[in-house]
Amino acid sequence: LLVNDRTGMVLLEEARQAEAQRRRQVSDLFGRYMAPRIVDQILRDPDTVRLGGARQDVTILFADIRGFTAMSEQRQPEEIVAILNRYLALATGEILAELGTLDKFLGDGLMAIFNAPVPVPNHEAAAIQAALSMQTILASLPDHFPAGVGYGIGIHTGEAIVGNIGTAELMNYTAIGDTVNVASRLQSEAHPGQVLISDATYRRVAHRFKVEHLGERPVKGRNEPVTMYRVLRAR
Task: Answer whether residue 51 shows pLDDT above 60.
Answer: no
Confidence (pLDDT) at 59: 98
Fold classification of 50-234 (topology level)? Alpha-Beta Plaits (3.30.70)
Contacts of 227 (CB under 8 A, 6+ apart): 198, 199, 202, 215, 216
Is 20 a residue whose pLDDT tops 80?
Answer: no
Share of the chain above pLDDT 90, in %: 47
Q: How far apart are CA 129 and CA 124, in angstroms?
A: 9
Q: How confident is the model at residue 73 (pLDDT cuts 50, 70, 90)?
A: confident
- 24-33, 163-172, 221-230: which has the minimum mean pLDDT? 24-33
Instruction: Decide if pLDDT at 42 tops 80.
Output: no
31: three-class secondary structure by DSSP: coil
CA torsion angle for 173, 116, 210, 68 (degrees, to 10)? -10
pTM for this model (two decimals)? 0.83
What is the band of 139 on the pLDDT scale with cuts at 50, 70, 90? confident
The sign of the torsion formed by the CA atoms of 204, 233, 228, 94 equals negative
Q: Which pLDDT does position 187 carry in this prediction? A: 96
Contacts of 84 (CB under 8 A, 6+ apart): 68, 108
Residues contacting 141, CB < 8 A, separation 6+: 86, 87
| CA 56 – CA 161 distance, rounded (Å) | 6
- Report pLDDT for 207: 95
Q: Nearest to residue 200, comparing CAs of 228, 174, 220? A: 228
Long-range pairs, 90-94, Cβ under 8 A, ≥24: 90/134, 90/137, 90/138, 91/63, 91/134, 91/137, 92/33, 94/130, 94/133, 94/134, 94/137
ω into residue 46 within 30 of 0, thus cis? Answer: no
Q: Convert the pLDDT of each residue in 78-133 to its tens digit.
A: 888 887 888 888 899 999 999 999 999 998 899 999 999 888 999 999 999 999 99
* Three-class DSSP category at 73: coil
- In the chain, where are the structural domains located? 50-234
Q: Residue 76 — very low, low, confident or very high, per pLDDT cuts 50/70/90?
A: confident
How many residues would you count in the chain? 235
Q: Which phi and psi angles does 12 have, rounded to 5°?
A: -65, -40
pLDDT (0 to 100) of residue 168:
64
What local confidence, expressed as pLDDT, does residue 233 receive?
Answer: 94
What whole-number distance in Å separates Cα of residue 211 and Cα of residue 125? 13
> pLDDT per residue over 182-215, tens digit each?
999 999 999 989 999 999 999 999 999 999 999 9
Q: pLDDT grade, residue 144 (50/70/90)?
A: low
- Higher pLDDT: 167 or 59? It is 59
Beta bridge partners of 58: 158
Compute the distance between CA of residue 100 and CA of residue 61 in angstroms, rounded to an integer.
9
pLDDT averaged over every residue in the chain: 84
